[in-house]
Amino acid sequence: MNDSTDLLKSVRDTTSETEFYTPTPDGYKPGKTKYIAVFGTVMSGLGKGIFSSSLAKLLKDKGLTVSPIKLEGYLNIDSGTLNPFRHGEVFVLDDGMETDMDLGTYERMLDQNLSRANFATSGQIYRTILDRERAGEYLGRDVQMIPHVTGEVKMRLRELAMQTNADVVSIEVGGTVGDIENAFYIEALRELSYEEGEENVMFATLTYVLEPPALGEQKSKAAQLGIKGLMEYGIHPHMIACRAENKVDEKVMQKISLFTNVPIQRVFSMHDLPSIYLLPEGMRKAGIDKEAIKHLGLESRVDHAADKKNTAQWATFAKKICNAKGELKIGVTGKYVALRDSYASIIKAIEHAGVANDVDVKLQWIETTDVNESNAAKALADVDGIIVPGGFGVRGTDGKIACIKYARENNLPFLGICLGFQMAVIEYARNVCKLPGADSTELDPDCKSPVISVLPEQKQIEGLGGNMRLGGQDVLISPDTLAAELFGGAELIRERFRHRYEVDPEFIKTLEDAGLVFSGRHSKHPIMQILELPRSVHPYFLAGQFHPELTSRPLRPQPMFVGLVAAGLEHQKLKG
């Protein structure tokens, strides 16, 4: 039994007066799971999630089981109430957990579904501890940041390791080193390395290499000071990713290597690339994956045949990104277009669909607050298809409806998502069915024809009370429809939802009699989930009450986006 095992065995009893308080799951074996922790320095938004997920992907390609986790510093229990302008999109997991957008990056890179066990916030950590304190589980001890809060963090990491039987748990610490709110995470990881053994934990940090235009050269001082801040917490990095606009100069990396005692082969230039999906291949060529394997002693677990196959497959995908045969412009009509992170998953889903169609898709951002029926044609003149994305509230909805009407009447390929689905129903009810006052009770609680509403019986069906319908749900596909064609004839698919309002069943027959097809429904109840127009009426008019972008993966693009891009190419040809 090694020192780490002795230490953990001696402190499992939480009633003990020992200062080595570190609760551990029953059956946990130190050394079985390795840990990689990624920190950010200098400034936020550098791409910790992209680096961390790319490294995790390289390890998974080698046949290892990798479980990522994002540790967020904010006190919210989840990301559901965060404004997209402040924090980017809310990514919904299959189990209904509303998370940070980085979880989407992990799911796409690793091509695996994650759960609430892969996401933790300070609010979750504190609530768990306070609930235990109120229940008397600490038996009179004063509850402190160290060891109780840090102990809870370590417990979650070890529970994740056991639940997923992980070879590697990849940990991303949100925020920037020096922030007050993430300091206890950093301390917990320092303790983790002490308890697990240095050979079982690897620390990686992102830093930023400045290149002031007035100087005309890269400067490493801010990067050095940022890393110094991490070292002051007692954490010495084993690997450094240098973010920069241009490739980091070899001398700059040598300077950082010398300052930090990190071998030069573990200092990596993470400069801007045309696509984040080119990063794993760049890291592989630089040997970053091999360095991680070596440090963690994972050589015996590597499946070389799987690694070769997965490397070739990804290289083919990456090559297509750089060698598209054409260009296509798709409009995104929304109200958060000033911040692209609000639509991060849509951007990636379109990129996946573009590769599948061998075309470079350029997105044109259209602020719908300023669009109406009189100027919709001008706003959409340059695009060969539109996406009407999700959102909440009244602002911009009239513009979305105007865009949908134009697309329907002018054979412009259209994909509606969540609120976009509801706006398509309202547009059809108003302009085709001629229903007076057709609207959503979200937008107008007193409307005459509430084609979109929250119904008491639907609340009971889903058991949601006043909450949103969240997470993965089955969708029953009608045969001989566009949806059936797109999903390869599947009768049942699973997609992710995040909404409160539904199509009111009272109006379904009216809408269908007027030609609208509900090709996707709840498997048991009258809840409409996909709508479309027949191909004989429109080349591509499709919308989902769910968020199809959340299930798109690089090598398994979401069919509704693939279909939109294909239809856009046909529209481009016809337009000449």
Residues annotated as catalytic are 418, 547, 549
DSSP state of 468: P
Do strands 386-388 and 449-453 pair parallel, antiparallel, or not at all (unpaired)? unpaired
Render the burial of 533-546: b for 16+ CB within 10 Å, e for the rest: beeeebbbbbbbbb
What CA–CA distance (Å, rounded) separates 520 from 461?
A: 17
Q: Which tokens sit at 54?
A: 């790319």
Distances (CA, A) of 231 to 178, 263, 309: 11, 16, 39
Burial of 166 (0-12, 13-18, 19+ CB in 10 A): buried
301 CB neighbour count, 10 Å cutoff: 16
What CA–CA distance (Å, rounded) separates 528 from 446?
A: 22
Helices 3-10 and 183-196: crossing angle, nearest 10°? 120
User: Which has the closest alpha carbon to 104: 500, 564, 547?
Assistant: 547
User: Which has the closest alpha carbon to 424: 436, 437, 440, 446?
Assistant: 440
Q: Using an 8 Å Cβ cutoff, are 62 and 296 in contact?
A: no
Q: Is 529 in a helix, a strand, or coil?
A: strand
Q: Which tokens sit at 46?
A: 């550098």
Backbone angles phi, psi at 334, to 5 degrees: -145, -175
DSSP state of 249: P
